[in-house]
Amino acid sequence: MAKANVKEQIVTTSLQLLHSKGFNATSVQDITDAAGVPKGSFYNHFSSKEALGLEVLQRYTEGVGQLATPLQDLSLAPRQRLQQYFERMIAGNASNCFHFGCLLGNFSTELSNQIPAMRSAMRDAYSGSVAALAAVIADGQQDGSINADVPAAELAGFVNDAWQGAVLRAKSEQSSEPLERFVRMVLGRILT
């Protein structure tokens, strides 16, 4: 396998393993076995498992960014943008039967107190999500479809965190219900 392909194979395999099993429950040996590459090749591409974890987080965040394209779709009304975004995010969770949760949330609880560079990357990822949500909420406040009594950034921060909580609960319940409740509450009571 060409060198670039080995690296890509390791990242792709790790994304699946770290998402489903977690960071500390997955060894470098698990990864190289699942990727079908020699264990020694791992350290040709990554200085450590932490370095791989950061690359996996970045890859995952890019994927979530693609799910968020409805937030930028100005042909839709602000609340419709949010509705479509949440639907896509729920479908993403449904693709693994709500068993995996959000990699960002998983790493937040598992690694925030273990790997400072990971915590920093997670902060950036959350900032990006909150900014994208806040822009849509501000549009809704501008056109009167969302109550403007609370600043958009405050609402967006709360909604971002509440989503993470709903995903965490959906993972522990192995059910879509917490995510559906999140949408009912956010679009039916909070962003109204």
Query: What residues line the site for its own copies (CB under 8 A)?
Result: 20-22, 24-25, 99-101, 105-106, 108-110, 112-114, 119, 122-123, 126, 149-150, 154-155, 157-158, 160-166, 168-169, 171-174, 178, 181-182, 184-185, 188-190
Query: Based on C-alpha coordinates, what's the Rg of the chain?
Result: 18
Burial class (CB within 10 angstroms; exposed 0-12, middle 13-18, buried 19+) of 5: exposed
The nearer residue to its own copies, 36 or 188, going by C-beta atoms, is 188
The nearer residue to its own copies, 72 or 120, going by C-beta atoms, is 120
Supply the minimum distance, in Å, between the C-beta of residue 75 and its own copies.
29
Q: Which of 16, 21, 96, 98 is nearest to 60 (CA)?
A: 16
The nearer residue to its own copies, 38 or 116, going by C-beta atoms, is 116
Supply the minimum distance, in Å, between the C-beta of residue 161 and its own copies.
4
H-state helical runs in the chain: 3-21, 28-35, 39-45, 49-67, 78-94, 103-111, 116-143, 152-173, 177-185
The nearer residue to its own copies, 47 or 174, going by C-beta atoms, is 174
Supply the minimum distance, in Å, between the C-beta of residue 158 and its own copies.
4
Supply the minimum distance, in Å, between the C-beta of residue 105 and its own copies.
6
Query: How crowded is the C-beta side of 96, counted as CA atoms within 13 Å?
Result: 17
State the sign of the Cα–Cα–Cα–Cα dihedral 129, 161, 113, 68.
Answer: negative
Supply the minimum distance, in Å, between the C-beta of residue 85 and its own copies.
17
Plot region of 101 (φ>0 → left; ψ -120 to 50 → alpha; else → beta): left
The nearer residue to its own copies, 1 or 97, going by C-beta atoms, is 97
